[in-house]
Amino acid sequence: MIDQAGILERGIEALGIELSAQQQQRLLDYLSLLNKWNKAINLTAIRDPRQMVALQLLDSLAVLPFIRRAPLLDIGSGGGLPGIPIAIARPQLDVTLLDSNGKKTRFLTQAKLTLQLDNVTVTQSRIEAWQPSKPPLDITCRALSTLQQIIGWSQHLLTPQSGIIAMKGQYPHRELDEIADQDLNIDVHPVAIPGVTAQRHIVCISGFKNHPLPLLAQ
């Protein structure tokens, strides 16, 4: 039997993240719920128990050092990655999980209730149509789309205080070239995920102007 708890504990130690025993158990409970719902709804292609800890939990938790402030918006949250692990690890953060798929938002709502995540709001909407009363300060996304498209879709939410934190695999040379002329602050951070041999990079974008950027070609 795979020792998911041991893999998680060693992984968060390697990442330099401090989580209580209760938070670690809640992360494992989330994985169990994800796996259960995945049999009826296609939430993730990853089904191997060992890979689930590394590729879903640890991969999501690696973004924590780059998150600055609340409210936080997780675009295209799908099965709740990275939004739910973030919300579990940082209960003081107000986290909105946004997805346009009704089946996925039903899962997210069940996860919020089951895991008692009082800091989580689940919203079914396309990002272009979402009009919050207060814009998010940080926006996360994982394997969603190109950087240009993410900025374009989010342009009505972006202020000089906004930050986009995009989780990528290999270094996104072409995507960075596409936004190179937009006078933005862009930092690309390679990250090592315990148990994952593939490349991982986190792209942090800020420096948006007072007026939203024009909608970019999609």
DSSP characters for the chain?
---HHHHHHHHHHHHT----HHHHHHHHHHHHHHHHHHTTS---S---HHHHIIIIIIHHHTTGGG---SSEEEET-TTTTTHHHHHHH-TTS-EEEEES-HHHHHHHHHHHHHTT-TTEEEEES-GGG---SS--SEEEEES-S-HHHHHHHHGGG--TT-EEEEEESS--HHHHHHTTTS--EEEEEE---TT--S--EEEEEE---SSPPPPPP-
pLDDT exceeds 70 at position 97: yes
User: Residue 38 — pLDDT band, cuts 50, 70, 90?
Assistant: confident
Q: What's the confidence (pLDDT) of residue 211?
A: 46
Provide the CA 186 distance to its chain's centre, in angstroms.
18
pLDDT exceeds 90 at position 41: no
Establish how many alpha carbons lie within 13 A of residue 90's alpha carbon, considering only the half-sphere containing its beta carbon: 20
**Position 215 in a domain:** no
Kindly state the tokens that stand for 184.
């933005």
**Position 29 in a domain:** yes
pLDDT exceeds 90 at position 48: no
**Position 211 in a domain:** no
- Summarize pLDDT for 65-81 with one digit per residue, the tens: 999 888 999 999 999 99
**Position 127 in a domain:** yes
pLDDT exceeds 60 at position 183: yes
Kindly state the tokens that stand for 4.
């998911």
**Position 144 in a domain:** yes
Between CA 160 and CA 137 the distance in angstroms is: 9
The residue range of the domain holding 79 is 4-206
The phi, psi pair for 74, rounded to 5°, reads: -105, 110
Residues 6+ apart with CB under 8 A from 31: 4, 52, 53, 56, 57
The stretch 192-217 carries a mean pLDDT of 79
**Position 212 in a domain:** no
User: Residue 171 — pLDDT band, cuts 50, 70, 90?
Assistant: very high
- Summarize pLDDT for 112-160 with one digit per residue, the tens: 999 999 999 999 999 999 999 889 999 999 988 999 999 999 999 999 9
Q: What's the confidence (pLDDT) of residue 210?
A: 61
pLDDT exceeds 80 at position 218: no
Q: What pTM did the predictor assign? A: 0.92
pLDDT exceeds 50 at position 215: no
- CATH number for the domain harbouring residue 100: 3.40.50.150
If one compares 175 and 36, the residue with the highest pLDDT of the two is 175
Could you give the number of structural domains in the chain?
1
| Average pLDDT, rounded, for the chain | 92
Q: If you count them, how many residues does the chain have? A: 218
Between CA 68 and CA 190 the distance in angstroms is: 18
pLDDT exceeds 50 at position 213: no
Distances (CA, A) of 148 to 28, 77, 213: 34, 18, 11
Q: What's the confidence (pLDDT) of residue 143?
A: 83
Q: What's the confidence (pLDDT) of residue 21?
A: 97
**Position 200 in a domain:** yes
**Position 214 in a domain:** no
- Summarize pLDDT for 7-28 with one digit per residue, the tens: 999 999 999 999 999 999 999 9
